[in-house]
Amino acid sequence: MFISWMELIVISLASFRLTRLIVFDKISEFIRNPFFEEEIEVNENGNEEVYLVPKKGLIKNFIGELLSCYWCTGIWSAAGLCLFYLKWPLFAFPFLLILAVAGIAAIIETIIQRLL
């Protein structure tokens, strides 16, 4: 099965947005929390910095490493979205379109913030 360039762009933007949602966004923090421990370090200026470190244990460490890696999560997000679209295109497309539009909005917002 071949997909059009437009479908590829929509899936790509949806994958970008889903990956950022999983790895960085506050709204999905509850998904990441069981797999991370907070470590507090004091920097050279005396300010405390909080770092998230994957928890110990085979499964928790593996998932924590996955969730802390934008590239790793991106591969699995892309694979999941592609399979979803190829298997159930009528159900997947609205979901993909929403994520793609949100991805474009995030890119535009980032550009605007850097220009200001």
Per-residue pLDDT at 24: 92
CA distance linking residue 104 with residue 111, whole number of Å: 11
**How confident is the prediction for the chain on average, in pLDDT?**
94
Per-residue pLDDT at 77: 96
At position 6, the amino acid (one-letter code) is M
The pLDDT of residue 15 is above 90? yes
CA atoms within 13 A on the CB side of 9: 5
pTM of the full predicted structure? 0.85
The pLDDT of residue 103 is above 90? yes
Per-residue pLDDT at 72: 93
Q: Give the pLDDT band of residue 107 (cuts 50, 70, 90).
A: very high
Per-residue pLDDT at 29: 93
Per-residue pLDDT at 90: 96
